[in-house]
């Protein structure tokens, strides 16, 4: 499903997406034109070099009069400078095209797997007075750092202890020893058969279950100010994600303001598609 089909219920977002695609096509045409101009300039450079070589070969000592040598060398240098200038123009054009193409790709990827019925236009965003793209991006970076800290926050000692107990109980159950008194040859417990690989570990955990549990739990750190239960961490991450999206919507609004004023601001490739296209996605319907 293409963007037009995806955004059939979000006309404002569809207009944005089509504008991105049109801009990408326009810039790609500029890249093709710049490539041809660079090739033509390179042909002229090679022609200037060949002319210099031809003039030198026409002399038995391959030495030209100073004025002719200087004129031909100047032609080569000028052609080389023009080739280099047009190479820079082509590289700049390619970078601009790739940036917009990346935006289109990010929009397509962000809507992959989302039903058209789950997408609608978001209300227009008016950036706070004095807000700047750089300032908003610093706030986004701060939120990302806070989210990473929440993601890596330790669980409460009691919660971790319960998980340790459950893990030990699981291993102990796998290694629960059995004894067969009917076995008259060899060890009724088949202990030697059970002491290989994981089975041996499970057996030892089963025998020393309490000791293993206590030893592991005593190594847990005490609770600290950054301790979070699973529910607290999930709630914290959800709050930060909501704040981040709000900032990204402001960021996109500021970028559009800059574009309207003739200024170019590169978009972040990781920006949320909701902010990029100005949509709301009902995740329950995707």
Name the residue ranges covered by the structural domains of the chain: 1-121, 126-153+228-286, 159-226
> DSSP per residue over 172-239, as a string?
HHHT-----TT--SS-TT-HHHHSSHHHHHHHHHHHTHHHHHHHHHHTSPPP-TT---HHHHHHHHHH
Q: What is the pLDDT at residue 194?
A: 66
Average pLDDT of the chain to the nearest whole number: 92
Identify whether the C-beta of residue 204 lies closer than 8 Å to the C-beta of residue 213.
no
Q: What is the pLDDT at residue 132?
A: 96
From CA 175, how far away is CA 30, in angstroms rounded? 70
For the chain, give the percent of residues with pLDDT over 90: 79
> The tokens of 92 are what?
């700049």
From CA 15, how far away is CA 138, in angstroms rounded? 29
**Using N-to-C axis directions, what is the helix angle for 157-174 and 197-207, rounded to 10°?**
120
Mean pLDDT of all residues in 93-105: 94
Query: Per this entry, what is the length of the chain?
Result: 286
- Write down the pTM of the prediction: 0.76
Identify whether the C-beta of residue 76 lies closer than 8 Å to the C-beta of residue 45.
yes
Question: pLDDT tier at 114 (50, 70, 90 boundaries)?
Answer: very high
**Three-class secondary structure of residue 110 per DSSP:** helix
Q: What is the pLDDT at residue 79?
A: 97
From CA 169, how far away is CA 148, in angstroms rounded? 32
Mean pLDDT of all residues in 227-249: 96
Q: pLDDT digit string (tens) for 141-184?
A: 999 999 999 999 999 999 999 999 999 999 999 888 777 778 77
């Amino acid at each position: 499903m293409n963007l037009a089909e995806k955004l059939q219920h979000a006309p404002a977002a569809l207009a944005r997406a089509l504008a991105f695609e049109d801009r990408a096509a326009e810039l790609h045409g500029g890249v093709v034109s710049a490539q041809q101009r660079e090739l033509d300039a390179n042909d002229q450079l090679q022609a200037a070099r060949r002319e210099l070589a031809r003039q030198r070969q026409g002399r038995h000592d391959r030495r030209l009069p100073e004025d002719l040598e200087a004129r031909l060398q100047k032609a080569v240098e000028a052609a080389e400078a023009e080739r280099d200038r047009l190479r820079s123009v082509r590289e700049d054009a390619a970078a601009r095209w790739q940036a917009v193409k990346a935006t289109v790709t990010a929009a397509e990827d962000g809507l992959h797997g989302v039903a058209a019925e789950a997408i609608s236009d978001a209300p227009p965003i008016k950036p706070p007075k004095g807000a700047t793209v750089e300032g908003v991006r610093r706030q986004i970076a701060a939120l990302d750092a806070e989210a990473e800290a929440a993601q890596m926050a330790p669980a409460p000692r009691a919660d971790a202890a319960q998980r340790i107990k459950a893990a030990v109980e699981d291993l102990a159950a796998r290694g629960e020893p059995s004894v067969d008194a009917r076995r008259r040859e060899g060890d009724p417990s088949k202990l030697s058969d059970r002491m290989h690989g994981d089975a041996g570990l499970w057996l030892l955990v089963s025998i020393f279950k309490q000791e293993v549990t206590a030893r592991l739990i005593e190594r847990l750190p005490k609770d600290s100010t950054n301790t979070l239960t699973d529910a607290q961490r999930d709630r914290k991450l959800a709050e930060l994600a909501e704040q981040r999206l709000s900032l990204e919507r402001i960021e996109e609004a500021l970028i559009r303001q800059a574009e309207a004023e003739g200024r170019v601001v590169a978009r972040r490739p990781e920006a949320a598609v909701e902010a990029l296209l100005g949509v709301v996605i009902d995740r329950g319907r995707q």
